[in-house]
Structures are given as C-alpha cells and as structure tokens.
C-alpha cells in the first residue's frame, strides 16, 4: 500500500523546469503524504519527523470535535428557534444535514481562497507550499457566524492571507494571528453580519421586525426526497414562525443588559457549558474544546503556560471587577465568565498560536495573563464589543515581540552580571 | 480619579498615533531598534508632559480675554505653543547629549524634530478644544506621551523581529512599517469606546 502510493507519486511527478506551478502543487501533496527526506541547508536543526506539516495536521485533528459539534449545533439552534425537535437528539438527520449545508460552503470558500493565494505565492517565490493555511483554514469556519455571506468570507480570508501573511514573508513570519485577522476584518468592515443578536442562529430572517424561518431551497428538496424515501421526517417548505419570545440574544448580550440573572432566564449554566447555545460555529462546547486543548498540550504543540496564565488573568480581572461592582455585568461572579462566550476556544487555539505568541517561557506567562486581563476588560467595560478575546489576542500579538525583547534583555543582563561576579571571584 | 481617567483615555483609548495618526514621521523613522525608540519615546513623554501645562497657563492667563492683557490674543496661540515646545526640545537635546551621547547620535535629526512632531502640538491643541483643566492637561500630556511611547516601542520590537522575515522586496522598510501601523491600529481599536468615567463608583 505504502510502496504503491510512493510509486504512484513518483510516476506522476511533473517536470520542475517545464511546469513550476504544477510541480509546486505536486510537492505540496507529496510532502503531505510522506515526510520528505531532504535535509535543510543552513542553520541549526533538530532532526525529527514532526515537521511543520505534521504539527499543523495535529491542530486540525484537535479541532475535529469542534467541527462535529459545531455542525450539529447549527442545525440544532435553527430548529430550536423554530420550535421543532427541541430535544438535543431529536431530528438528528435533519440537524446534521442542515449544519452541513451551512458549513460546507464556508469551509470550501475559505480553503479555495486561502490556499489559492498560498499556492500562487509558493509557485512564484519558488519554494514548497507551506501548509500554514491548514490551521487558519480550519479555524476560520469555526469562528464565523453560520449565515455569513460567502463573498464577505472570501474578502476577509484574502485580506488576512495577503496583508497578514504574504506581505510579512509567508508562514511563520506573520505578526498577527491570521484567523483572527480574517474575523476582525469582517468585524470592522461589515459589523452587521457578525455582531448583534440576529446573526448567531442560521436560517432566521427578520421580516417587518418579526423573525421568521427561511424558505428551504432546492438542495433541501433533494434531501427531502431521500428522507421521504427512507420514511424519515423532512424539512418541508420552510417559512415557519419562530417560537414566542425568540430574540436570538447570546448569553453575553443578555449579561450586558442585566447580569447573570438575566442570562439564566434564557440559558441554563449546563446549556452554556455543553454548548447548546447560539454562537460562532465552533466555540460553544467547552468540554470538547478542553479535550482538544489537552490533546494539543499532550503533543506539545500548544503551550500550557499560555493557557494557564490566561485563565489566571481572566479570573484575576473578574474578581477585581466583582469587587468594583458598578454595572450589572461587573457583578457577574468571576467564575461564570468562563461559561459565557468563547474564552476556551480563544485560549486553546488562538492565544497559543506559536508564531504570534511570545516565544520565551517567562514571556508566555506575561502574554497569557495580559490577554486574560484585557479580554475581560473589553468584554465587560466596552459597550461597543460584546466579546473581548479576538481583540485582546490581537492587542497582545502586537506586544508579544516587545515582551520577548525585554525578557531576553533581562536574561542577557543577568548572565552578564553572573559572568562579572565570576571574574571578580577569580 | 479624573486624573487617572484622562491618563488611561489618552494612553490607550484615544492613542495619539494609532487612532489619530499624529506624529507619524518619527514614529516610522526611528522605530528600527527598540533602544532608540525607547529613548525617543521617553523624550516625547517628557516634552508632552511639560509643554501641555505651560501652554495651558499661557492660553488661560496670557491669550484669553480675561488674561493679563485683557484682549483676545488667540491668534498668537500657534506661534507661542511652538516656541514653548521648541525651547523644551532644546532642553531635552542638551540633557541627552550630555548624558547619553550614543543615543544622541542614534536619534540624529529626529530629536530636534520633536519640535514639529504633530503629536506634541496636536496634544496642546486637543487640550484647548476639549477645555481640559490644568491637572487634566498634565494627565493628558503624560498619558498621550505614554501611549505614543508604547506604540513606537512595540513597533520597534516587531521590526527588530522582522529582520529575519522574508518580506517581498517592494515592501521592505517603510512599506512594511505602514502596513504594521495599520494593523496595530486595528488592535488598538479593541479599547476604543470604553468610557472610564462611566465606571467610577
């Protein structure tokens, strides 16, 4: 099996001089399947099969649980809003198909645009394809609202990959997190599509101030035909009224209005923990994210220091605001901040990005702690933004090189002093 | 409390360079190494914090109608402000030359050019248009200077790190600094809109 695949790859290898672009493309897939046996020239290297590509794939693997749950949750939230199949395990096939129909186009557009730009530059600069986009491309669909128009998504991905990465020199050289840069682009350029109460549940329209379910298109009809053939429930025509009292509000916007009491009127703590609440696709289910995070820590791809210090920072700021206690949101007990919003997703997959985070161990403690503090500040004190982690992480990405610089300087000074003391002793 | 509010607002929420894009020339030109950026940042903090209260005194007691001369002399505002700033910069220059000749030569022309750094004059003019009190103008000067300092030091650290990056030739140097400034502006938008005064107990 392995040998025949290798033979197949060698057979189809295009000529590098005649068609450089094809060869780059080939090289990308070949090194994906097999670790290359070329040794890197120049610099000091550790010999390990765990190359960049395989690191990236580990992160994508860790994200699969989020994908599975996120896809199902899109459908679940849609049907709950319409008052159908309100139990989590009712209408499984409909919810799953509904989620897939929503997320597959997002996934495909993200990868076509992002990888397209990456392939183009790899061929142009004449180096192999750097799979830096594999992780960003897996993260971006998870942090977007499910109903985001695809052209906005394409624009944001192009902006992030072009300005955020290729301008800086490609994979591993970007200063800001690519996935967050894509999201922040949508956030500031098309704010109505990614903030407010109307965007977090898929397939709900606002007609004359009242919410109503969207009409199901032809693709749902195809599945309806299959389902009715199997004797299962079908989507039907759509255009159904939503349940009474539906507002689409997320826990955070409720907390802003009236603190924790207001949140628990709509969502229970258990719901928020397990993630059966509206939100960005992949960030709702906390236990699954923590599982992924443990996997990343175990494989030593993400640094536990950043995660721990981020929790400490958020808890510290939460306690401080509890003591201050002026607005209802400030009075939300600090431990409930971990239930709402995307804290865990940001902690596990965004803050720990080894490229944009601080590189030194001491720097990582400072970096994570400050993200925690600033994230809570933005979430609670800033009226303009409902959630703080995206902006807090970008903010600290800017300062990560500075933190590293001073940590390294302090180290140099300490060692110089030690050397001087030794000299004096002799 | 008001003092702290004005300081935080000037430093983070309404950062002079990243939300008003003031003082760009030296921000872009002197941000190649953290050491010189640190020195220039300190100089800007000092000049801002000294000139703002002096300019406040001048505009309240000399230039306004209730002032010493009893007539409206606001048309002299710009020239007097610049004169104050220039003399302060001279002072800083002499101090830096005496105590840190290496920093003095590294900063070169950009040290005397703080005189025409629009962040400094801009700070004084903001002070007038926002009708700050004397103590608040000190806070605004310190905060604005600190925000400028933070921004330039952060940019310098990023640019030092980026020396090892394979930036496309056309973007090397200033082009990249402009893009970075824009991206840093996005990051600083995170704190925009916070009103510290609303959270005073």
Residue range A216-256, pLDDT digits in tens = 888 888 888 888 888 888 887 777 778 777 777 788 888 88
In chain B, the residue whose alpha carbon lies closest to the alpha carbon of A164 is B183
CA distances from A357 to A60, A354, A364, A371, B72 (A): 19, 5, 7, 11, 55
pTM, rounded to two decimals: 0.90
CB A161 within 8 A of CB A125: no
CB B178 within 8 A of CB B43: no
A120 vs B: CB within 8 A: no
Residues from chain A that touch B165, judged by Cβ atoms under 8 A, are 168-169, 173
A399 vs B: CB within 8 A: yes
A142, A145, A147, A149: CA torsion to nearest 10: -90
Tell me which of B36, B186, B188, B198 to substitute to probe the interface with A (most A C-beta atoms closer than 10 Å).
B186
Query: pLDDT, tens digit, for every residue of A350-401?
Result: 999 888 999 899 999 999 999 999 999 998 888 878 788 999 999 999 999 9
CB atoms within 10 A of CB A257: 12
Torsional sign, CA B60, B63, B66, B69: positive
Query: What is the model's pLDDT at position A14?
Result: 79
Nearest CB among A173, A184, A377 relative to B166 is that of A173
Query: What is the model's pLDDT at position A27?
Result: 77
Assign B201 a pLDDT band (cuts: 50, 70, 90). Answer: low
Q: What is the H or E stretch that residue A92 is in?
A: helix A92-125
Residues from chain B that touch A394, judged by Cβ atoms under 8 A, are 186-187, 190
Q: For B75-99, what is the mean pLDDT?
A: 90
Q: Can you list the residues of chain A whose pLDDT is less than 50?
A: none
> How confident is the prediction for chain B on average, in pLDDT?
88
Residues from chain B that touch A166, judged by Cβ atoms under 8 A, are 168
Query: Does A388 contact B34 at a Cβ distance shorter than 8 Å?
Result: no
Query: Does A168 contact B187 at a Cβ distance shorter than 8 Å?
Result: no
Which SS3 state, helix, strand or coil, does residue B19 take? helix
Closest by CA position to A144, among listed A129, A155, A128: A155
3-state secondary structure B89-134: HHHHHHHHHHHCHHHHHHHHHHCHHHHHCHHHHHHHHHHHHCCCCH
Query: Does A330 contact B162 at a Cβ distance shorter than 8 Å?
Result: no
Residues from chain B that touch A413, judged by Cβ atoms under 8 A, are none
Rounded distance, CA A52 to CA A132, Å?
A: 8
CB A376 within 8 A of CB A321: yes
Nearest CB among B34, B165, B191 relative to A169 is that of B165
Query: What is the model's pLDDT at position A40?
Result: 67
Query: What is the model's pLDDT at position A217?
Result: 82
Tell me which of B191, B196, B199, B200 to substitute to probe the interface with A (most A C-beta atoms closer than 10 Å).
B191
List CB contacts of B181: < 8 A, sequence separation 6 or more: B17, B18, B21, B24, B27, B28, B155
Query: What is the model's pLDDT at position A173?
Result: 86
Closest-CA distance, A65 to chain B, in angstroms, reads: 30
Q: Could you give the angle at the alpha carbon of A235 between the alpha carbons of A229 and A240, nearest 5°?
A: 155
In chain B, the residue whose alpha carbon lies closest to the alpha carbon of A399 is B154
Nearest CB among A168, A397, A401 relative to B187 is that of A397
Give exposure, A386-414, as e/b (b: 16+ Cβ within 10 Å): bbbbbbbbbbbbbbbbbbbbbbeeeeeee
Closest-CA distance, B185 to chain A, in angstroms, reads: 9
Which SS3 state, helix, strand or coil, does residue A211 take? strand
Query: What is the model's pLDDT at position A311?
Result: 94
Rounded distance, CA A122 to CA A130, Å?
A: 8
- Angle of helix A389-425 relative to helix B174-188, nearest 10 degrees, comes to 120
Query: At residue B132, does pLDDT exceed 70?
Result: yes
DSSP assigned state of B69: T
A155 vs B: CB within 8 A: no
Torsional sign, CA B38, B39, B41, B45: positive
Per the listing, tokens 């303009």 go with A384
CB atoms within 10 A of CB B165: 17
């Amino acid at each position: 099996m392995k040998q025949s695949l290798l033979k197949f790859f060698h057979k189809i290898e295009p000529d590098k001089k005649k068609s450089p672009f094809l060869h780059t493309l080939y090289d990308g897939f070949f090194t994906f399947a097999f670790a290359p046996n070329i040794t890197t020239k120049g610099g000091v290297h550790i010999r390990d099969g765990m190359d960049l590509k395989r690191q990236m794939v580990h992160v994508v693997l860790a994200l699969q649980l989020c994908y599975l749950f996120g896809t199902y949750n899109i459908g679940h939230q849609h049907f709950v809003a319409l008052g159908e199949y309100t139990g989590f395990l009712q209408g499984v096939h409909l919810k799953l198909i509904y989620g897939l129909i929503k997320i597959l186009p997002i996934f495909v557009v993200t990868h076509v645009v992002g990888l397209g730009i990456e392939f183009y530059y790899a061929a142009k600069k004449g180096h192999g394809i750097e799979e830096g986009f594999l992780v960003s491309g897996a993260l971006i669909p998870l942090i977007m609202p499910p109903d985001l128009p695809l052209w906005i998504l394409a624009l944001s991905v192009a902006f992030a990959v072009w300005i955020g990465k290729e301008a800086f020199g490609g994979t591993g050289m970007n200063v800001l997190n690519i996935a967050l840069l894509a999201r922040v682009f949508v956030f500031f350029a098309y704010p109505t599509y990614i903030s407010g109460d109307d965007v977090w549940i898929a397939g709900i329209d606002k007609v004359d101030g009242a919410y109503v379910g969207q009409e199901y298109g032809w693709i749902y009809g195809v599945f309806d035909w299959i389902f009715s053939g199997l004797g299962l429930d079908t989507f039907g025509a759509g255009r159904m009224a939503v349940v009474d009292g539906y507002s689409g509000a997320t826990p955070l916007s409720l907390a802003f209005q009236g603190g924790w009491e207001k949140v628990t009127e709509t969502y229970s703590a258990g719901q928020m923990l397990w993630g059966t609440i509206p939100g960005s696709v992949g960030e709702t289910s906390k236990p699954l994210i923590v599982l992924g995070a443990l996997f990343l820590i175990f494989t030593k791809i993400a640094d536990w220091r950043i995660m721990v210090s981020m929790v400490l920072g958020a808890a510290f700021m939460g306690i401080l605001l509890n003591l201050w206690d002026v607005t209802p949101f400030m009075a939300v007990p600090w431990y409930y901040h971990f239930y709402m919003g995307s804290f865990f997703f940001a902690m596990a997959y965004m803050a720990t990005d080894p490229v944009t985070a601080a590189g030194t161990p001491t720097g990582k403690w400072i970096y994570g702690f400050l993200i925690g503090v600033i994230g809570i500040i933005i979430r609670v004190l800033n009226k303009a933004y409902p959630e703080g982690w995206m902006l807090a992480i970008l903010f600290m990405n800017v300062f990560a090189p500075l933190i590293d610089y001073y940590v390294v300087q302090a180290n140099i000074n300490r060692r110089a002093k030690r050397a001087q003391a030794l000299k004096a002793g002799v | 409390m008001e003092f702290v509010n004005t300081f935080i607002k000037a430093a983070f929420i309404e950062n002079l360079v990243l939300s008003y894009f003031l003082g760009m020339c030296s921000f872009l030109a002197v941000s190649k190494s953290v050491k010189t950026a640190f020195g220039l940042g300190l100089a800007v903090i000092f000049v801002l914090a000294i000139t703002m209260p002096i300019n406040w005194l001048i505009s309240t007691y000399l230039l306004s109608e209730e002032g010493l001369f009893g007539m409206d002399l606001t048309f002299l505002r710009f020239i007097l402000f610049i004169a104050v700033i220039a003399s302060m910069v001279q002072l800083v220059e002499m101090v830096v030359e005496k105590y840190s000749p290496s920093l003095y030569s590294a900063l070169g022309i950009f040290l005397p050019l703080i005189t025409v750094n629009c962040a400094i004059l801009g700070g004084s003019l903001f002070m007038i248009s926002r009708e700050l009190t004397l103590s608040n103008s000190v806070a605004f000067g310190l905060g604005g200077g600190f925000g400028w300092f933070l921004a330039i030091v952060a940019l310098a650290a990023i640019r030092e790190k980026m020396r090892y990056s394979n930036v496309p030739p056309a973007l090397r140097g200033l082009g990249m600094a402009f893009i970075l400034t824009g991206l840093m502006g996005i990051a600083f938008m995170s704190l925009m809109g916070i009103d510290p005064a609303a959270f005073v107990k």
